[in-house]
Amino acid sequence: MNMTGRERRLLDREDLNKLYKLTNPKLHEKPTLQFVMNSNGHSWKVIDSHILRGYRACKGSLEAKVQMYEARGIWPQNCQIGIGIFRSDELVDVLIAKDLGTKPIKQSRQTLALDDALEALGRTRQELLG
């Protein structure tokens, strides 16, 4: 997510639903989720040993990973990046990142750093100025 009040869409609806179910805290046998990459049609390889947890954290981390490889000129031309789903140390599925544009972040508003600090204190700019 970025400061413009827009969120980059990288997973389609089906993959988002699957991610939501896989990160459900009530799920007893959770799979292991890790970032994987497929370069030029080769097999999928783990690119970050960090184990992913939580729906929003997975989406945010995927966006950061895509931005990093996009800045290097690697994604999407030369590789695919995704969230690998592992069961018993075996890759069973991949939620592949796709460039699906952006969408507005719900209840997003542009603020100044001063507004954020005042909000943390329970105050507003109007109270300060008035």
Q: How many residues does the chain have?
A: 130
Residue 39 lies in a domain: yes
Total H helices, total E strands in the chain? 4, 6
Q: What per-residue confidence (pLDDT) applies to 47?
A: 94
pTM score: 0.75
Residue 124 lies in a domain: no
Residue 92 lies in a domain: yes
Residue 127 lies in a domain: no
8 A C-beta contact, residue 113 and residue 52: no
The one-letter amino acid code at 26 reads: K
Q: Which two tokens mark 30?
A: 């959770």
19-73: pLDDT as tens digits: 999 999 888 888 999 999 999 888 999 999 999 999 999 999 999 999 999 999 9
Residue 130 lies in a domain: no
> How many structural domains does the chain have?
1
Q: Show Cβ contacts of residue 18 under 8 Å, excluding neighbours closer than 6 positions.
A: 93, 95
Residue 62 lies in a domain: yes
The one-letter amino acid code at 116 reads: D
- Residues spanned by the domain of 33: 6-105
62-94: pLDDT as tens digits: 999 999 999 999 999 999 999 999 999 999 999
Residue 67 lies in a domain: yes
Residue 63's alpha-carbon distances to 18, 54, 77, 100, 105, in angstroms, are 17, 14, 17, 12, 14
Residue 128 lies in a domain: no
What is the SS3 string spanning 93-115? EEEECCCCCEEECCCCCCCCHHH
What string of DSSP letters covers 23-60?
T-TT-SSPPEEEEEEEETT---EEEEEEEE-SHHHHHH
97-127: pLDDT as tens digits: 999 988 877 665 556 677 777 777 777 777 7
8 A C-beta contact, residue 36 and residue 84: yes
